[in-house]
Chains A and B, each alone.
Chain A
Amino acid sequence: MLTEIANPKIRIEHVSYAYDGEMVLRDVTLDVPANAVTAFFGPAGGGKTTLLRLINRLNDLVDGTQMTGRISLDGQDVYALGVNIPQLRRRVGMVFALPLPLPGTIRENVLYGPRLAGERDRSRLEEIVVRSLRQAALWDEVRDRLDGPASALSGGQQQRLCIARSLALEPEVLLLDEPTSGLDPISTGKVEESLLELKQHYTIIIVPHSVQQAARVADHAAFILMGDLIEYQPGKKIFTTPRDKRTEDYVTGRFG
């Protein structure tokens, strides 16, 4: 089982997590390599979203939770005292399963993060808009309506806008939680394509919306079953030659 690699971007060590005493992750240990797409997949309610949200400390917003273990980014404990949490979240961007544009225009959505980060230079901001929307494969569709309401975009466009919004901050890590769950096959294809581009520069963790998608995009994949990390393998081996019976059952569609 691949859990320890040299120079991981993210190292998750013995992480257990509970909501109101209800354990949803049990002793999860794995390393996420840089510049690759790592997939966390498994049946619903297994704790994949929770694990993502622990990496950028988004679950700090949830009350009544208990965590043990350690998560580090470039060797630094993200839960250490004195960590600048907004700064951490700029380094570790996240895209949610349901696209939620902020009120306002497309441009305002893309620039929300950079503006909060203090970027004021107009030409820099303009560059950011163009680059992020290009990277998210949305530029051609919205270049003429950047100052139109973001809520007027289609669901698929909104999801790519949300990706662009994260990319605007040039994060080192991108957490994608079922980014294509609401999308048609064509939009899904576009998003998956842009992932191939993006992984050159970013470390990507994706919770895919199906095993098929995991198999298409993942360079490494971890199977999470009801809070337990069952199996983690480099490459696509987990889909072709799973070692664990439970993984095999899941990828061949026998349960879940």
Chain B
Amino acid sequence: MISVNSRRYVVQRIGFGVLILAALLVVLPILFVVGAIVVEGIGAINWEFLTAIPRDGMKAGGIFPAIVGTLLLTVGTALAAIPFGVGGAIYLSEYARDTWLTRAIRLAIVNLAGIPSVVYGLFGLGLFVLFLQFGTSILAGSLTLAIMTLPIIISTSEEALRAVPTEFRTVSASLGGTRWQGIRNVVLPQALPGIITGVILGLLRAGGETAPILFTVAAFYLPRLPQSPFDQTMALPYHLYVISTQVPGMPIQVQYGTALVLLALVLSLNVVATVIRSYFRRKRQW
């Protein structure tokens, strides 16, 4: 008995060891990439880099217009994608019956999530820039990013809504609540952490994308801030692409510094999402 047990114990230890190794293998490259960017880029980060306009063909000065551009695009994406995304999820989860139409809608959403982002870029170029004549603009870029983000927001929000037990809706109805009142007062608050997580995940992806903004909004070099939604703007991902591949003699520190800023923005959004999620999870009661 004892020998069997101790052999099992050894096997178990080896098993755990393999699992830990696998986990490390996943984490190591990420740590390595992040570490490299931080080490190489931190030297570029200073007040001027963050708040000044690029100079000398972007080789000096700062990346302020690109930071502002990315923030504006993210906000624009949020404004367009959240109402439609959450609204669509509410419709699918709470109102739509299971018909061929809703099944077709769900299938479309799943497939949309898998479309390469450059296709969204071309779609945005065709629809917003050319057909609707928004021009190459923040408006066109935000809408393009919003469309790309919608599937993520809709599917995560729908999942969060479905996770709220039916009984809550029944209780609300039994107390004279309309369907909407039940959703508004009981279901939505409980689904909120999941919805917020989905929204932030979607916005994260939008904020880091290059292809969709390539044809719809991004400026190669625009040393001033945009004045209206119909203006072009610089944006961090595209700027990074430009200074890494299109400008000869670009100081490597500027490239890494830009990457670091983009990474920091994305990671901080991620942290916000995690904090919100754990805050609500602790408050949840079932």
Q: Considering the complex, which residues of chain B in the window 250-286 have a beta carbon less than 8 Å from any beta carbon of chain A?
A: 284-285
| Segment touching A, from B57-65, B168-176, B202-210, B226-234 | B168-176
How many Å lie between the Cα of A74 and that of B237 in the bound state?
69
Kindly provide the distance from the CB of A62 to the nearest chain B CB, expressed in whole angstroms: 10
| Segment touching B, from A87-95, A202-210, A243-251 | A87-95
- A63 interface hit (Cβ, 8 Å): yes
Given A63-B97, A103-B186, A116-B181, the answer on whether A89 and B175 have CB atoms closer than 8 Å is yes
Kindly provide the distance from the CB of A205 to the nearest chain B CB, expressed in whole angstroms: 14
A113 contacts B176, CB within 8 Å? yes
- B185 interface hit (Cβ, 8 Å): yes
Given A63-B97, A103-B190, A112-B185, the answer on whether A58 and B173 have CB atoms closer than 8 Å is yes
Residues of chain B touching chain A, judged by Cβ–Cβ distance below 8 Å, are 97-98, 167-178, 181, 185-186, 189-190, 284-285
The majority secondary structure among interface residues of chain B is: helix
How many Å lie between the Cα of A166 and that of B185 in the bound state?
17
The CB with the most chain A CB atoms within 10 A, among B97, B171, B177, is that of B171
The CB with the most chain B CB atoms within 10 A, among A101, A102, A165, A166, is that of A102
24 contacts between A and B (CB under 8 A): A56-B174, A61-B173, A86-B177, A87-B176, A89-B173, A89-B175, A89-B176, A93-B174, A96-B171, A96-B174, A98-B167, A100-B167, A100-B168, A101-B285, A103-B285, A112-B177, A113-B175, A113-B177, A116-B175, A116-B176, A149-B285, A151-B285, A165-B175, A166-B175
How many Å lie between the Cα of A100 and that of B190 in the bound state?
14
B189 contacts A100, CB within 8 Å? no
How many Å lie between the Cα of A101 and that of B167 in the bound state?
10
- A83 interface hit (Cβ, 8 Å): no
Digitize A101-128: 1 where CB-to-B-CB distance is under 8 Å, 0 elsewhere: 1110000000011001100000000000
**Contact residues in B for A113 (Cβ distance below 8 Å):** 175-177
Kindly provide the distance from the CB of A175 to the nearest chain B CB, expressed in whole angstroms: 9
- Option from B173, B178, B186, B284 in Cβ contact (under 8 Å) with A102: B186
